[in-house]
A and B are shown apart, each in its own frame.
Chain A
Amino acid sequence: MRLLHWLPGRLLSAIVVLLGASILIFAAVRSLPGDFAQIVLGPLSNEEQREQLRQSFGFDRSLPEQYLLWLGNAARGDFGLSLASQQPVLDELASRLPVTALLAGMAMLVTIAIGIPLGVYAGTHASTGRGSAAARIVSTIGISFPEFVLGCLVVFLFSRFDLGLSVGAFTSPTTDFGRGVVSLLLPALVLSVFCVAATARTTRDAVIGVLVEPHIAASVARGEPKGFIIRHHVLRNALIPVLTLTATITAYLLGGAVIVERVFNVPGIGSYLVLALDRRDYTVIQAGVLLATAVFVIASLLIDVLTGLVDPRVSVAKKGRGA
């Protein structure tokens, strides 16, 4: 029940961060040079149309009022109309959300399934020389591969040679889930490489940190089997920094998805955001950036709660996100 002591404060800080981010996004788009109505309607619009638009956007009111109006609508899911297609932004985002969610989920699964065992191995063999050096080099190469380079490389290999999987043939997971998963396999793998390496590095450091603690020496002295020590004493303690890293990885997956979706031509939220930037579609940019930020803030809040449940030592002082 220690959780109840710090949870309200943590919730409040999440709300403050989210509000701050929304102010930043609003201010960024409003600080665009030129008349916003002119940007929206283009150079061929007349004064009457512009005046009408200013009123419909609430531009005749004060800036704080405009911000509250925008925020209130956004909180109810109304992000306005896309400037380019004149469709509600929410509908377009909603139709693309499953794709990105599946892509990020698959990458997260790969990250956990490979990154943690790799890190545990590297950490428990840290002082044995060759294995540790190999693990260090492999994980450093992993975090040094920008996903656009890796993605292009994969696209090149798979389009030049027949390797069983095709690139560019996308099936929506909402129409056929199985084929959707298969078509997202390569993008998800490319997306996960950085996260696997980062998780392995963090797990390795955490395991090394736990191994030097006296209670491990005590277990060894008691003659407990090695596998048991690793599972019961090392892993439980080492998983806490790894859990914290998951929040950073969520943010990374959201950002990386933008590039990977572009490279593999996947119609998700990321490629929609880039398309919006190409078309100067500011309502979509506002909504997309706000959505990505909100997902990250909520994810890190959940992970903090989870960490608090797993680790009773987490106190108010330690509740900040480590990275």
Chain B
Amino acid sequence: MTAVIRLEGRRRGVLRRSWDYLASFDGLAKTAMWTLAVLFTAALLGRLFGLGGSPTAIVGPRLAAPSLAYPAGTDSLGRSLLPRLLEGVMTTLLLSAVAVLLTAVIATLCGIIAGYRGGRTGGVIMRVGDILYAFPAIVLAILVAAVVGPGYIAALCSIVLVTVPLMTRMVGQATRLVAQRDFITSAVISGVSTPVIMTRHVLRNISGTIAVQGTYALSVAILVEGGLSFLGYGVQLPGSSLGLLVQEGTLYMVKAPWLILLPGIILVIAILAINLIGDSLRDRFEPREARSLE
């Protein structure tokens, strides 16, 4: 099947090929992808062309309800909420994506080494993973925030430390399964060097696991960033992130519910979309047979 796709791919362009690939997902996952694309595009337009106005300028009355002039209402200082929402979406998505990219690199490296080489190095890597895994997510984030101090770096470090252990373990398990297969033995006998086996043979065959785990890590990342910012130790003012906006919204909850509802709903939608994509990827890479009792 891979071979077929690659032959077609040579005839068509890279863009066309990736478009076809995305189009092959089920309806739910496609809707999720569109949702994320719309959110990100809106945030990008806000950043590049000032869509919705300036996030820091005071433009109107305090706590005004959503209207044509202020599509998302205004906050306690009379700033329009829409540009702050867009900035928050950008910060949350970008921060989480960068952190998960870091996680993916670290976890893939450690997971392949631990899973393929095993031995003492692998044991140490797995043990360190176990130790980090023993910290509840937000508790670990609090420890990081206590040491690093509140801000972007605390959020970034927390996300990486929270997501690395699980992903390393999953990559390690997938690697062990691949390492037992005949083509690896054959490559070893043929005298292929270990780094080449790791990248050319192992990495390619566990890329599905990396994609699935990376997607789930992204949703955890948004949760951790939101939680830490909500507690006041993630992104700091005058910056903006969805968690921070929810926290600000709690102060005027009864008078101005949109301040908490809008960032909250966007946060849920973003995480939901990422989880749906993750489920779809998992169904694709780890297919299971379903049978009912009927």
Q: Is the CB of B142 within 8 A of A24?
A: no
Would you mind naming 11 contact pairs between A and B with Cβ atoms under 8 Å apart? A21-B131, A140-B272, A140-B275, A146-B226, A148-B246, A149-B226, A149-B268, A252-B136, A255-B139, A277-B146, A296-B136
A143 touches B275 (CB 8 A): yes
Number of interface residues of A (CB under 8 A): 67
Residues on A lying within 8 angstroms of B by beta carbon are 13, 16-18, 20-21, 24-25, 28-29, 31-32, 124-128, 136-137, 140-141, 143-146, 148-149, 152-153, 155-156, 159-160, 205, 208-209, 211-212, 216, 220, 226, 229-230, 251-252, 254-256, 258-259, 262-263, 273-274, 277-278, 280, 282, 285, 288-289, 292-293, 296-297, 321, 323
Which A-chain residue is minimally distant from B273 (CB atoms)? A144
When A and B form their complex, which 5 residue pairs have the shortest distance between CB atoms, in order from nearest?
Answer: A255-B136, A20-B131, A144-B272, A255-B138, A149-B264
B4 CB to nearest A CB, Å: 28
Q: Is B99 interfacial (CB-CB < 8 Å)?
A: no
- CB-based nearest A residue for B169: A323
**Cα separation A16 to B126 with both chains bound (whole Å):** 12
Is A125 a contact partner of B292 (Cβ separation < 8 A)? yes
Chain A residues with Cβ below 8 Å from B272 are 140-141, 144
Tell which of B138, B219, B253 touches A256, judged by Cβ atoms closer than 8 Å: B138
- In terms of DSSP, what is the predominant structure of the interface of chain B? helix
Which residues of B are in contact with A by a Cβ distance under 8 Å?
Answer: 28, 127-128, 130-140, 142-147, 166, 169, 219, 222-223, 226-227, 230-233, 243, 246-247, 249-250, 253-254, 257, 260-261, 264, 267-268, 271-272, 275-276, 279, 288-294
Q: Closest chain B residue to A126 by CB distance?
A: B290
Residues from chain B with Cβ under 8 Å of A32 in the complex = 146-147
Residues of B within 8 A of A254 (CB): 136, 139
Are A251 and B136 in contact (CB-based, < 8 A)?
A: yes
Cβ A211 vs Cβ B291 within 8 A = yes
Chain A: which residue is nearest B142 at the CB level?
A277
Question: Which residues from A are CB-within-8-Å of B293?
Answer: 124, 211, 216, 220, 226, 229-230
- List chain A residues, Cβ under 8 A from B130: 13, 17, 20, 321
Contact between A156 and B275, CB atoms less than 8 A apart = no
* A16 CB contact (under 8 Å) in B127, B138, B230: B127
Distance from B232 Cβ to chain A, minimum over Cβ atoms (Å): 8
A156, B139: Cβ atoms closer than 8 Å: no
Which residue on B lies nearest to A160, using beta carbons? Answer: B254
A277 to B135, CA, bound (A): 17
Q: How far is the CA of A152 from the CA of B226 in the complex (A)?
A: 13
Q: What residues of A have a CB within 8 angstroms of the CB of B260 in the complex?
A: 152-153, 156
Contacts known (A259-B230, A274-B231, A282-B146); A212 close to B254, Cβ less than 8 A: no
How far is it, in angstroms, between the C-alpha of A69 and the C-alpha of B183 when the chains are bound?
A: 53
Q: A141-B272, A297-B134 are in contact. Are A285 and B219 (CB under 8 A)?
A: no
B250: which A residues are within 8 A, CB to CB?
A: 152, 155, 263
| CB neighbours of B133 from chain A (8 A) | 321, 323
Is A149 touching B267 in the complex (CB atoms < 8 A)? yes
Contact of A289 among B28, B128, B137, B139 (CB under 8 A): B139
